[in-house]
Amino acid sequence: MTEFTPVASFLGGTMIGLAAVLLMAVHGRIAGMTGILTGLLPPLAADWAWRAAFIVGAIGAPALIVALAGRSAIAFEISMPALWLVAGGLLVGFGVHFASGCTSGHGVCGLARLSPRSMAATVTFMAATAATVFFVRHVLGGL
């Protein structure tokens, strides 16, 4: 069962929003994780340094919070076989490619800018998610 964590969720969302606003204000860039990561793959983008710093922060901040909370890790449970996770990751990768961006760029930054393209992409992401959940739970029997 998923825990109800409104305070932690609010703080996390606030930090994501603040990071997106700061990246736009300082570098004039959208905080889309796919685009940021792509610039770190060979050939490196000319502005690779801020991209690396952003990724280090995205990974390091949760690790710092866990350390400050006195825990050794964040507990989570995956009830799917590894093959399903890999398949899901590949499908998400294809979706990101065809949508020219991910939910962080379109959903967080694009919706905040009232971008019609991002609105269409986000509605498509959510519809595909709902259809996938329905299919897996009700057609395939929940696997």
Which tokens go with 91?
A: 């499908």
Query: What's the CA gap between 53 and 57, in Å, rounded?
Result: 6
Where do the H-state alpha helices sit in 4-81?
6-27, 33-38, 48-69
Question: If you average pLDDT over residues 40-49, what whole number do you get?
Answer: 93
Question: pLDDT per residue over 99-131, tens digit each?
Answer: 788 888 888 888 888 999 999 989 988 998 899
**With contact defined as beta carbons under 8 Å apart, do 125 and 95 qualify?**
yes
The count of residues in the chain is 143
Per-residue confidence (pLDDT) for residue 2, from 0 to 100: 64
Question: pLDDT per residue over 45-79, tens digit each?
Answer: 999 999 999 999 988 988 888 888 887 777 777 88
Sign of CA pseudo-dihedral 110, 116, 120, 123: positive
- Given a cut of 70, whether residue 143 has pLDDT beyond it is no
**In the chain, pLDDT over 90 holds for what percent of residues?**
29
Question: If you average pLDDT over residues 70-98, what whole number do you get?
Answer: 82
Per-residue confidence (pLDDT) for residue 134, from 0 to 100: 92
* 3-state secondary structure (DSSP) of residue 31: coil
CA 33 to chain centre: 7
DSSP 44: P
Average model confidence (pLDDT) for the chain?
Answer: 87
